[in-house]
Structure 1
Amino acid sequence: MRSTDQLAVMVPAGLAGVVVTETELGDVRGSEGFYHYRQYSAIDLAEAVGFEEAWHLLLHGNLPDAEQLVRFREKVGSLRPMPDGLAALLPAICATTDDALTIVRTALSLWGGIRRLRPLFDADPDEIAEAAMASAAVTPTILAAAHRIRQGQEPIEADPTLGHVDDYLRMLTGARPNAHDLRAVEQYLVSTMDHGFNASTFTARVIASTGADLAACLVGAIGSFSGPKHGGAPSRALQALDEIGSLDRAEAYVRDKIERGDRVMGFGHAVYRTKDPRSEMLRRTALGYDDPLVDLAVGVEAVFERTLAELKPGRELFANVEYYAGVVMKLAGIDPSMFTPTFCVARVAGWTANIVEQSRDPKMIRPSARYVGPPPPQPVPSLAARLA
């Protein structure tokens, strides 16, 4: 039998470029600036279909026909309200923290208990698919209610007759969005449902590979997603625009950031080596608003890209999805504290589709690490020696 050393394969830091499994859900081609959901360009989908249609595609494998879409929307609507037990306890959860992602991961853990979710290892495919839909349906309800509670307002109950994004914005802001804002946010959410094996999706699949229940997978995914280097960037990118204030200050701002070794939020991506197609689409969406913030964002983007090309030649640092996401969400009336949670509303649909797919694979994900500490085995020193 071969030793672990003989079986080990050295891989790049951060598993960059390492293929860990096969998937039918989609892929990201970083060198091409292209990504897709199943066989369709994700950007084409974002510009052509609604949220439920793209969600159906990821979860069930096809774009729904008219009858399937009606049934899917009705099912999602019926699953959107919070269970009474969770609604009663949500104020107590909100009292412990101001962070919406902390609240939703705690609430989803409780939700899994209320739903009596069984481990994926024990559940049948229909049971897993139902739990996947239910968790993604209730997530925006939890987030919107948590936001209102933290603002000293009463939560608004879900309306099963409304579309998913329409109802989320109504529960969040207290009023139904106009058609322009609704479509802008929906395009953003469709474009961010899934994005290859990013950190949070990989986390969800690692947990799913152990056979844990679906709520456990989502709690882990949200924990990963909450990091500023992952899902936590849209509000920070908008904050940078607020700090710059006017276009004439943009170059000095980015030069100062680089000189201090700080990260320029909203620029650069772990996979893309060309323009981020999500950012390109969201720029077009932002240009649909007649607002000085859009003019500032477009101008700052040009200055930043030119200056970064000078200061970091060969790095190919372009605006990423977070840069224009913050602009679009702010102009659509979403509070900056809810930018990353709104991103989560989209990504939970992708996470659950990945969890469903991973649940069909009997192999647990269990990589190795290269040990670099003191060479073993060393003699264990006596207590007297350690106290000497």
Structure 2
Amino acid sequence: MPNNRAATAPSFTPVDVPRGLSGVVVTDTALGDVRGREGFYHYRQYSAVELAQTRGFEDVWHLLVHGELPDAARGAAFAARTAALRGLPEEVRVALPAIAAATGPLAGLRTALSLLGASLGFRPVYDVDVDRRRADTLAACAAVPTLLTALYRLGRGLEPVEPRDDLPYAANYLYMLTGSEPDPARARAVEQYLISTIDHGFNASTFTARVIASTGADVAACLVGAVGALSGPLHGGAPSRALDTLDAIGTSDRIDSWIRERVLAGDRIMGFGHAVYRTEDPRSRMLRGIARQFGGSLVDFAVEVEHRVEAILAELKPGRELHTNVEFYAGVVMELCGLPREMFTPTFAAARVVGWSANILEQAEDPKIIRPAARYVGPVPPVAVPVAG
């Protein structure tokens, strides 16, 4: 007797999941994980914080893309290869002034990445082999800092600064932003921030990149979608807002009253709380340490605000673990390193593009398109369509 189960069974069995897919496992990954109850996250088999403290950005990029940390020779070769990709095609270069005149660096990156992909001939990941996919991601990642800094400078009436292939990723980013070779301590601080934010589980922008990759679209399309998700203030837009909170509080004697008023009003305190961590965010802990190495009144005030906010939140929201997340001290560190606040989230994108790319490469190996279902809750159909008039 023939087996007709495939012909008669429903296409899927609906499964109810938490809002926002919280805690829902949607696939397997070898790239890393976030263990929120432990306050720990990793890239491949290595602690992400330890990598930020001990290795350079290009080494960690190599780890995410190739699956292993390079030795000195391979690390130097990878750094040289990616540095050679920092320049922009002429078609992109000539379009940047118009993009910068219309919008800011992060929004402009969406348009610029689309143009970059077209100029470099990116093809759907479905149609190319893994080597071509990897080459496309390297080209896009290498160009992102050049695009962001050029858009920022053009928006202020300044000429873009050409990339240098003799500087590491973070130092070159700061050089293109300011036009001056950065102080080594500040370049290293920014590099550590960049490494610590390369990847972080299936956050909104990473998941967006993977959904688009599952359709077989090209690398640029996947990255544009991820940038769009990152632009939301609930995802990547909080570092400058956390600093705005410090500015609004102003002085130590205003901390308690300012925080209590906002918490009792139901407002969110930017820089506190995380969707996954139920203990201190390890990225925040590392960045606090970096900030304290610089020292100064801003750092002292940030630490004081952190302590008082956590105490007030514990009092007013008992039973909830609410600590600083990466954005709080990221804003402090970037401010100390001379980055303009408008470039805080773009700087995050300059790091996360590597994580997005690694996820795109991994997703491209899975032939199954990501296509969830929704529960319809509108008027009961079918209803006759009324006659017009």
Query: Does the TM-score normalized on the shorter chain lie above 0.5?
Result: yes
Residue 277, structure 1, aligned to residue 249, structure 2 = no
Q: Output the CA distance in 1 between the equivalents of 2:101 and 2:184.
A: 34
Q: Which moved more, 1:202-211 or 1:285-294?
A: 285-294
| 1:352 aligned counterpart, secondary structure | helix
Deviations 1:326-376 (Å, cap 9, x if unpaired)? Answer: 000010010111000001000000000100111111000001111111122
Which amino acid in the other structure matches residue 117 of structure 2?
G
Which amino acid in the other structure matches residue 150 of structure 1?
G
Select which of 328, 332, 343 maps to 1:327. Answer: 332
User: Displacement of 1:382 after TM fit?
Assistant: 2.4
Q: Output the CA distance in 1 between the equivalents of 2:56 and 2:249.
A: 35
1:114-193 paired onto structure 2 within 5 Å = 114-193=119-198
Q: Output the CA distance in 1 between the equivalents of 2:167 and 2:312.
A: 46
- Give the aligned partner of residue 229 of structure 1: 234
Select which of 63, 66, 70 maps to 2:69. Answer: 63
- Give the aligned partner of residue 197 of structure 1: 202
Question: TM-score, normalization: structure 2?
Answer: 0.97
User: Displacement of 1:85 after TM fit?
Assistant: 1.4
Residue 301, structure 1, aligned to residue 300, structure 2 = no
**Residues paired across the two proteins, number:** 382
Question: TM-score, normalization: structure 1?
Answer: 0.97
Select which of 71, 77, 84 maps to 2:83. Answer: 77
Q: Output the CA distance in 2 between the equivalents of 1:193 and 1:133.
A: 14
Deviations 1:232-288 (Å, cap 9, x if unpaired)? Answer: 110000111111111221111111111222111000001111110000110001001
User: Displacement of 1:377 after TM fit?
Assistant: 1.9
Q: Output the CA distance in 1 between the equivalents of 2:328 and 2:123.
A: 39
Which amino acid in the other structure matches residue 307 of structure 1?
I
Deviations 1:119-138 (Å, cap 9, x if unpaired)? Answer: 11111111100001110100
Select which of 237, 240, 248 maps to 2:245. Answer: 240
Residue 35, structure 1, aligned to residue 41, structure 2 = yes
| Identity across the alignment (%) | 58
Q: Output the CA distance in 1 between the equivalents of 2:341 and 2:165.
A: 26
Residue 17, structure 1, aligned to residue 10, structure 2 = no
Q: Output the CA distance in 2 between the equivalents of 1:183 and 1:165.
A: 8
Which amino acid in the other structure matches residue 347 of structure 2?
T
Q: Output the CA distance in 1 between the equivalents of 2:126 and 2:380.
A: 39
Deviations 1:49-101 (Å, cap 9, x if unpaired)? Answer: 1100111101110000111111101111110111121111100111111x211
| 2:33 aligned counterpart, secondary structure | strand
Q: Output the CA distance in 1 between the equivalents of 2:180 and 2:265.
A: 44
User: Displacement of 1:226 after TM fit?
Assistant: 0.3
Residue 368, structure 1, aligned to residue 373, structure 2 = yes
Select which of 357, 382, 387 maps to 2:362. Answer: 357
Select which of 376, 379, 382 maps to 1:377. Answer: 382
Which amino acid in the other structure matches residue 290 of structure 2?
T
Q: Output the CA distance in 1 between the equivalents of 2:152 and 2:333.
A: 19
Instruction: List runs of 5+ in structure 2 lacking aligned partners.
Output: 1-7
Supply the RMSD in Å over aligned alpha carbons: 0.9
